[in-house]
Structure 1
Amino acid sequence: MTSIVLFCLWVVAANVVAMLPSRDGHWTAAYILIVVGIPLLGYLTWQNGPIVGFIGLVAGMSVLRWPLVMLTRWVKEKLGR
């Protein structure tokens, strides 16, 4: 139960940060959210199982979609597609 509450707080914090103005396009906040979110996602999965962990992964990917889009573009560029 603790991990679900912490993950919900992470989602709320990510949405609050997205509403604030930013000079760098929120990239600094995205890096911080990723660094905090990955161990939190592991804790969520460990405590509640892989199905809840997958739901958390999808939720995190929807919140941080632009870093994911940029990572996909970078990987495609490196693979030569």
Structure 2
Amino acid sequence: MSGSVLAACLWAVAATVIAMLPTRDHHWRAAYVLIMAGIPILGWVTYQNGPWAGMIVLAAGASILRWPLVYLWRWLRRKAAG
């Protein structure tokens, strides 16, 4: 297993552990940190293992961070609607 895939697996484990902890802000600060850490890891996985592995890691990350994506999608639709 390459270092990039190992880092992606550790990121997923950390995200799961963070999701189990209680927070007052409904995990939004943790989500921002996970996004900032996940983007370079995603690029590293894609660079080392190719686009298919990158797409798998992207799908895994999107399933973990689905609510930030839902809110982003809603915000983009509002902006497009005017």
Question: What interval of TM-score do these two structures reach, taking the shorter chain for normalisation?
Answer: over 0.9
Partner secondary structure for residue 26 of structure 2: coil
How far, CA to CA, are the matches of 1:80 and 1:19 in structure 2? 36
Q: Which residue does the alignment assign to 2:38?
A: 37
User: Displacement, 1:40?
Assistant: 0.5
1:10 maps to 2:11: yes
TM-score by length of structure 1 reads 0.98
How far, CA to CA, are the matches of 1:5 and 1:27 in structure 2? 25
Unaligned regions of 5+ residues in structure 1, if any? Answer: none
User: Displacement, 1:31?
Assistant: 0.1
Alignment coverage as a number of residue pairs: 81
User: Displacement, 1:38?
Assistant: 0.3
Superposed CA RMSD in Å reads 0.8
How far, CA to CA, are the matches of 1:27 and 1:80 in structure 2? 26
Q: Which residue does the alignment assign to 1:28?
A: 29
Unaligned regions of 5+ residues in structure 2, if any? Answer: none
Q: State the identity as a percent.
A: 58
How far, CA to CA, are the matches of 1:24 and 1:54 in structure 2? 30
Letter in 2 for 1:60: G
Letter in 1 for 2:22: P
TM-score by length of structure 2 reads 0.97
